[in-house]
Amino acid sequence: MELRSVRGTHDILGKDIVKYNIIKKIVSNYANLRSFSEIQTPIFEFSNLFLKPLGEQSDVVLKEMYTFEDRNKELLTLRPEYTTPMIRSAITNNLFEDLPIKLFGIGPMFRRERPQKGRYRQFNQINFEVFGSDDYLADLELITLANDILKSVLPNSKFNLKINTLGKRKNLIEYKAKLSKYFDDNKNKLSNESREKIKSNPLRILDSKNNEDIELSKNSPSIIDFIDNEDKVHFEELKKGLRLNSINFEENFRLVRGLDYYCKTVFEFKTDNLGSQDTLIGGGRYDGLIAKLGGPDIPGLGWAAGIERILLLMEDIDTKNNKIHLAITNENLKNHLIKLINFLNLNNLPFYWNYKYNLKKSLAKANSKKVSNVIIIGEDEHKNDFYTVKKLSTGQQIKVNLDDIKETLND
Ligand code: AMP
Report the distance separating Cα 27 and Cα 15, nearest Å: 18
162 lines ligand 1 (CB under 6 A): no
Q: Is the pLDDT of residue 126 over 90?
A: yes
**In whole angstroms, what is the distance from residue 147 CA to residue 162 CA?**
12
**What's the pLDDT at 292?**
94
Confidence at 201, pLDDT banded by 50, 70, 90: confident
User: SS3 of 209, please?
Assistant: coil
Q: Which ligand 1 atom is nearest residue 306's CA?
A: 12
Instruction: Say which amino acid occupies 217.
Output: S
pLDDT class for 365, splitting at 50, 70, 90?
very high
Percent of the chain with pLDDT over 90: 87
> Do residues 111 and 64 lie in contact, with contact meaning Cβ atoms separated by under 8 Å?
yes
Cα 327 to its chain centre, rounded Å, is 41
**302-319 average pLDDT score:** 92
Q: What is the largest CA-CA distance in the chain?
A: 94
pLDDT tens-place string over residues 19-36: 999 999 999 999 999 999
> Probe ligand 1: pick from 153, 162, 279, max atoms within 8 Å of CB?
279
Residue 411 has what pLDDT? 74
Amino acid 410: pLDDT: 82
263 lines ligand 1 (CB under 6 A): no
Mean pLDDT, range 353-380, rounded to an integer: 95
Distances (CA, A) of 224 to 67, 200, 341, 382: 37, 21, 69, 81
Q: Which among 265, 277, 307, 314 is the best mutation to test ligand 1's pocket, defined by most ligand atoms within 8 Å of the CB? A: 277
Question: Which residue type occupies 406?
Answer: K
pLDDT (tens digit, 9 = 90+) per residue, 272-304? 988 888 999 999 999 999 999 999 999 999 999
Q: Note every long-range contact of 363-370, with CB atoms under 8 Å and residues 24 or more positions apart, other chains counting.
A: 363/327, 363/390, 365/325, 366/325, 366/327, 366/392, 367/392, 369/321, 369/323, 369/325, 370/321
- pLDDT at 265 exceeding the cut of 90: yes
Q: For residue 290, what pLDDT is reported?
A: 96
- pLDDT of 317 reads 80
What is the identity of the amino acid at 249? F
> Whose alpha carbon is nearest atom 3 of ligand 1?
258
Q: Measuring CA to CA, which residue among 388, 395, 337, 327 is closest to residue 358?
A: 327
Q: What is the pLDDT of residue 209?
A: 85
- Res. 162 pLDDT band, cuts 50 70 90: very high
pLDDT at 53: 87
Q: Specify whether the CB–CB gap between 276 and 270 falls below 8 A.
A: no
Q: Which atom of ligand 1 is nearest to the CA of 60?
A: 3
- Tell me the C-alpha distance between 79 and 81, whole Å: 6
Does the C-beta of 147 come closer than 6 Å to ligand 1? no
Ligand 1: which of 59, 79, 122, 123 to mutate, most ligand atoms within 8 Å of CB? Answer: 123
Please, what is the Cα angle at 377 between 374 and 383, to 5 degrees? 150
396 CA to middle of ligand 1, Å?
Answer: 53
Low-confidence winner among 42-46, 105-109, 220-224 (lowest mean pLDDT): 220-224
Range 336-358 average pLDDT: 96
207 lines ligand 1 (CB under 6 A): no
Using the mean position of ligand 1's atoms as its centre, give its distance from the Cα of residue 83 in Å.
13
Contact 250, 270 (CB under 8 A): no
Say yes or no to pLDDT of 397 above 80.
yes
Q: How many CB atoms lie within 10 A of CB 201?
A: 22
Q: State the chain's mean pLDDT as an integer.
A: 94
Average pLDDT over residues 66-80: 97
If one residue of 276, 308, 312, 313 were mutated to test the ligand 1 pocket, choosing by the most ligand atoms within 8 A of its CB, it would be 308
Cα distances (angstroms) measured from residue 72 to each of 68, 75, 77, 263: 11, 9, 14, 37
Which of residues 60 and 8 earns the better pLDDT score? 8
Residues contacting residue 294 through CB under 8 Å, at least 6 positions apart: 91
Q: Is the CB of 81 under 6 A from ligand 1?
A: yes
pLDDT at 316: 85
Q: How confident is the model at residue 11 (pLDDT cuts 50, 70, 90)?
A: very high
Torsion from C-alpha of 232, 234, 238, 240, nearest 10 degrees: 70
